[in-house]
Amino acid sequence: MFPTGVGMNRLTNPYPTLDQYGEFMRGNDTNGKTVIGWREWVALPELGIAAIKAKMDTGARTSALHTFCIEPFEADGQSRVRFGIHPQMKRQNIEIFCVADLVDQRLVRDSGGHEEERYVIRTLLRFAGEQWPIEITLTDRDPMQFRMLLGRTALRPRLIIDPSRSYRMGKLQAQSDTTTPKQVRLNKRKTG
């Protein structure tokens, strides 16, 4: 769990002392990795999502995004998928509609043991001053608290999670800086 170089008293205790652990979590011995909180603001610029709250989920291999109206289709010989996103929790009236290349379809087991066939896309994640491509499964997370989960493959090898902290990287701006046009709509229906 701790990077090489964190000293330990091997004769009496194989684990780091509280002082050594504190130095590690303050980012003083992270082997160049960024220490983040258990929940953070991230962006998905290729999908036109400038800011969305994500929960870091080390129990999940692949990341997941709450979507609705998922519709696969073919265009120019490429499998694609169009879908809608409610990027803000408790705001069903804000909708973003996206189109992405379809990478795969996978059987995914959730934390409750339920299996679901999900579409998989690849898109850029912008977070902690960097951006890199990640795979995301599309699913209905409406009853869940977070619209997005970041799984292990998206987190490593860049990040270390401090489970005692939230939003270490700060809040992202709510405006999009992407060059790809996306449809964002404020829906007039009541959300009860």
User: Do the domain assignments include residue 35?
Assistant: no
Domains contained in the chain, number: 1
Ordered DSSP codes for 131-172: EEEEEEEEE--TTSS-SEEE-HHHHTTTEEEETT-S-TT-PP
Question: What are the backbone angles phi and psi of residue 152, rounded to the nearest 5°?
Answer: -55, -40
* Parent domain of 63: 43-158+177-186
pTM listed for this prediction: 0.72
Alpha helices in the chain (DSSP H): 18-23, 152-155
CA distance 97 to 28: 42
pLDDT tens digits for range 62-77: 999 999 999 999 999 9
pLDDT tens digits for range 75-117: 999 999 999 988 777 777 788 899 999 999 999 887 778 898 9
User: Do the domain assignments include residue 10?
Assistant: no
CA distance 66 to 141: 5
CA distance 84 to 26: 39
Mean pLDDT of 137-159: 83
The domain that contains 105 carries what CATH number? 2.40.70.10
